[in-house]
Chain A
Amino acid sequence: MPVTNYRTDQEFFVDMQRCIGCKACEMACSECETNGHESMIHVNYIDRAVTVQTTVQVCMHCDDPVCANVCPADAITKDEFGVVHTANTARCIGCSNCVMACPFGVPQKKETYDLMMKCNMCYDRTSAGKKPMCATVCPTQALYYGTREEIAKMRPNSTPVNNFIFGKESVSTKVNIMMPKGSTSLIID
């Protein structure tokens, strides 16, 4: 008997060009009571003095999650679907190793709870066959959750990329960033 209705054909796609900085995603994420009404997704201005460009910072759910690898308490786990879960509250010791190790700067230490907290791909929803709340409400679909076929049809000028180059390190992720058509990787530095 399946214990979950997680749809393995659906993926998360982030398109920064479409982000209007409205923070509907933060509002929706912070509605989740399991997060203590904290948002696990963050929208930031690049440099408000010169542009209104914003970026969305969401857990990329790395194939080989360094946050989990460096956790001394084995509090962070990746499941069979590739979802990297937030710290197990019974195990997390609040050391912030994961915060410092993540190449995308995603995990945050919440002092209120003395815990690391990060996005778990809305597991309460995705495990029930629903889409993550942030992607559902995103008014511009800068955040999209669906199949590769859908995104290919919807965004003919873009390509999903999930390979990131940090110096000599290559990091592949479950979450995709939409890049100009034909792109294969994103060089960060």
Chain B
Amino acid sequence: MAHLPVSPEKLIEQFGPHLNYPPREGFAGRDEPDKVVKTHCCFCGMQCGIKLLVKNDKVVGFDPWEEFPFNEGRLCPKGVQRYMQNNHPDRILQPLQRKEGVGFTPVSWDEAMEKTVAEIKRIQEKYGNDAFSVLSGVSLTNEKSYLMGKFARVALKTANLDYNGRLCMVSAGAGNKKAFGLDRTSNTYADLEKAEVIIVAGANISETFPTLTHWVWRARDHGAKLIVVDPRVIPLARTADLHLPVKPGTDSALYGAILKYLADHDMLDHDFIDNHTTDFDKALAAVKDYTLEWAEEITGIEKAKIELAAQWWGKAKTSFLLHARGIEHHSKGVDNVLGCINIVLATGRIGKPYCGYGTITGQGNGQGGREHGHKCDQLPGNRDITNPEHRKYIAGVWGIDEKDMPGKGYTAYELIEAIHRGEVKGLLSICFNPLVSLPNNNYVREALEKLEFYVSIDFFMNETARHADIILAGSLQEEEEGTVTTAEGRVVRIRKAVNPPGHARSDTSIILELAKRLGAEDKFTYQNSEELFNELRVASKGGTADYYGITYQKIEDTMGVFWPCPTLNHPGTPRLWEDKKFATPDGKAHFNPVTYRDPGEITDEEYPVILTTGRVVSQYLSGTQTRRIGKLVDLYPEPKLEIHPELALKYGIKQNELVQVTTRRGTDEFPANIVETIRTDTVFLPYHWPGKKSANQFTPATLDPVSKIPEFKVCACNLKATGVISPPSTASGAYASI
């Protein structure tokens, strides 16, 4: 059904990505803005404070917001350029309808809504409610995340709702819940400052969360030892005291060996283990054979380095362990996370000043977006959709009968598989670009082509939306009021700076009208975002992610409130677990046994090289926004294949030569960047590009059994030199999204 209506070249010509540069003559009115709006960056989970300069209802520049406590004015290149997404020539300004052989043509909102609702009803009447599905995104505010969850369950009555946080930190969320009963980084990042030892595991902080680097450097000023675990010498690793170049897919072996070393050398906090945890013996039993020699064999890290890391970690009085997608994007992402948590718990260094642990959320509202119920297995307040008491409470808030609330649906990639099987026929997506961000994306494309109806809500025509039947012109972050929750767990205000341009509408108003036309108007009566937030507060009350005591005014007054904040007079909780009472049913932190197993795909004679993926500093996720901002594209126009000189020599690959990369799922060519800063058995590709430049045409859809996160970080590939030296990268590379 949903093949592209015209060639991708024509779609690109019409909708971009085109590059937006500031005008040479400057933005009119920047020196005399109509208003200066204190809000936050629209990109990663740091959610740095920033001031937007507004003139004539357009964002024309930025100023650093030096009073905001986390970043104090500091910004990364994406933050500096974030204002260039506003007033962008590619912006979708009105609803669009696909027309075969023509492309997309404008339609009225009434026509677009009527068609959308008619198709939803047709599909649900013919195939059942669950045959219509929703894929949501965590760049949405908390209010919109909550709204999407309620909309799917109450207005659409479908179980099949999931979100792109599934590709982000769900392994961390699942691990955190198992160990602590609650899913949030334990401390503010300011606690890094006086940690004696910091482990950064699979987190390219300097490129993905650059403003967080400041807090690591401050710790180093106070003498902290920095241990970086990564297959590459990332910028943070350059000056680390210890770099552990782990073989992709073997992380849990490293943490297992460290746990055994800590126990063998009695570097344990016995009081904490005995009084505040469970199952230490089980965790220890699982690693009883994990010697340093064994770990060296599995991980490829010299045992002396592993021993040194264990000693530093074991002897420290204060410490902080941070991880991100590098250990979470695995078919055993939850195991990797639990391996990290086990060594934190074994040394009892949590719930104290300068002692912390946590994941770093990648997407803008990666934290809040995983708390408010647009996840297939979750209800607001981080409640469980299969828990009868949780269901009853939320049904009460929503004013519905609990038996009418759908159950657990498919996770994101499982949903694609269900479309392939013909089980799911319709899709609504918002701020999610699965054709770039899901693994094995040629299979994803085939799924889109099988849909009977697909409606996309977005502000730019992303690669997935090109397959839509209807596109509803939604809103940018700066076009609607709301809140987001930073990676620290700090709830902050997103302030509306400008109105949606043209005939575009706020995302909220679009969803509310769809709900109304689906006959659920009485359940969706919000006049503004604050009313939505106030219902969210009630819905979260008593849940582990309790926002009840947080109000818009309180956030204004304090520049952010940390959850949990259960009552109106509660100050919020910057540091968790200070009372040693964990959110598990027994109030204790739980060790979890982690037994090492291989990644989903291992190298063999046919595919002898490990391919791993990640990010570059100038691009964000699937690039829907950043591949349209000229200066960011100029920094890194197209993906390059990082390869070690030894491996390059083996394959006869020269610098900048096009290399044919082949996996079981696809083959394409990339220019080589020969560098010593990567393991000799591993190549690296950044994953922000689509089509022939896509890293996710290679990655496998092996899912973690618990979190269902795909294994983006490990696949087996083969390399072949083509003999063609690639010309220097140019901005035009960004357009080659075919």
Contacts and interface: CB of A to CB of B under 8 A. Distances in A.
Interface of A: 17-18, 20-24, 26-28, 30-31, 33, 36-37, 48-54, 133, 136-141, 154-157
A36 B24 contact: yes
A52 B238 contact: yes
A171 B61 CA distance: 38
Nearest to B232: A52
Contact of B210 (A20, A31, A154, A157): A20
11 contacts: A28-B75, A28-B80, A37-B21, A49-B676, A50-B677, A51-B233, A51-B677, A52-B238, A140-B213, A154-B221, A156-B221
B101 interface: no
A156 B224 CA distance: 13
A28 B74 CA distance: 11
Given A20-B235, A31-B61, A156-B221, A141 B214 contact: yes
A54 B206 CA distance: 12
A23 B618 CA distance: 9
B635 A139 contact: no
Given A37-B21, A48-B675, 13 more contacts: A20-B206, A21-B617, A22-B77, A26-B77, A48-B673, A137-B64, A139-B71, A139-B74, A139-B76, A140-B210, A140-B213, A140-B214, A154-B218
Contacts of A51: 233, 238, 676-677
B458 interface: no
Interface of B: 21-22, 24-27, 30, 61-62, 64, 66, 71, 73-77, 79-81, 206-207, 210-211, 213-214, 217-218, 221-223, 233-236, 238-239, 617-618, 631, 635, 645, 655, 673-677
Contacts of A31: 22, 61-62, 80
Nearest to B21: A37
B278 to A, nearest CB: 40
B98 to A, nearest CB: 37
Contacts of A36: 24
A23 B635 contact: yes
Given A23-B617, A156-B221, A136 B676 contact: no
B238 A53 contact: yes
A157 B221 contact: yes
| 6 residue pairs, one from A and one from B, having the closest CB atoms | A33-B26, A20-B206, A139-B210, A27-B80, A20-B235, A139-B211
A139 B70 CA distance: 11
B22 A37 contact: yes
A26 B22 CA distance: 14
A52 B631 contact: no
Nearest to A26: B77
A37 B24 contact: yes
A179 to B, nearest CB: 14
Contacts of A20: 206-207, 210, 213, 235-236, 617
Give the one of B21, B631, B645, B655 with max A CB within 10 A.
Answer: B631
A54 B675 CA distance: 14
Nearest to A28: B80
A15 B537 CA distance: 45
B75 A137 contact: yes
Nearest to A54: B235
Contacts of A48: 673, 675
B75 A24 contact: yes
Nearest to A32: B26
Given A31-B80, A136-B64, A137-B73, A52 B233 contact: yes
Given A137-B75, A139-B74, A27 B631 contact: yes
Given A22-B617, A139-B213, A140-B210, A27 B77 contact: yes
Contacts of B617: 20-23
Contacts of A18: 213, 217
A26 B26 CA distance: 17
Contacts of B222: 156
Given A20-B206, A20-B213, A31-B22, A136 B235 contact: no
Contacts of A138: 74
Contacts of B206: 20-22, 140
A52 B234 contact: yes
Contacts of B213: 18, 20, 139-140
A40 to B, nearest CB: 15
B583 to A, nearest CB: 33
B221 A22 contact: no
B214 A49 contact: no
A135 to B, nearest CB: 9
Contacts of A52: 233-235, 238, 677
A22 B617 CA distance: 6
A75 B673 CA distance: 42
A23 B218 CA distance: 20
A37 B630 CA distance: 12
Nearest to A53: B238
Contacts of B64: 133, 136-137
Give the one of B64, B234, B235 with max A CB within 10 A.
Answer: B235
Nearest to A45: B675
A26 B618 CA distance: 12
A155 B221 contact: yes
Contact of A50 (B21, B24, B234, B675): B675
A33 B26 CA distance: 6
Contacts of B645: 49
Give the one of A23, A141, A155, A157 with max B CB within 10 A.
Answer: A23
A139 B71 CA distance: 8
Nearest to B636: A23
A147 to B, nearest CB: 16
Contacts of A156: 221-222
A54 to B, nearest CB: 8
Given A37-B22, A48-B675, A154-B221, A137 B631 contact: no
Contacts of A133: 64
B546 to A, nearest CB: 32
Given A22-B76, A24-B77, A49 B675 contact: yes
Contacts of A28: 75, 80
Contacts of B235: 20-21, 52, 54
A131 to B, nearest CB: 8
Contact of B77 (A17, A23, A33, A50): A23
Contacts of B30: 33
Give the one of B24, B66, B233, B238 with max A CB within 10 A.
Answer: B238
Give the one of A17, A26, A28, A31 with max B CB within 10 A.
Answer: A31
A141 B223 CA distance: 17
A139 B235 CA distance: 13
A50 B235 CA distance: 12
Given A20-B210, A27-B631, A49-B675, A140 B217 contact: yes
Nearest to A19: B235
A28 B81 CA distance: 8
Contact of A136 (B73, B76, B673): B73
A9 to B, nearest CB: 18
A128 to B, nearest CB: 12
Given A17-B239, A18-B217, A33-B26, A137 B80 contact: yes
Nearest to A157: B221
Nearest to B674: A49
Contacts of B77: 22-24, 26-27
Give the one of A20, A23, A154 with max B CB within 10 A.
Answer: A20
Contacts of B71: 139
B62 to A, nearest CB: 8
Contacts of B211: 139
A138 B79 CA distance: 11
B189 to A, nearest CB: 13
A155 B221 CA distance: 6
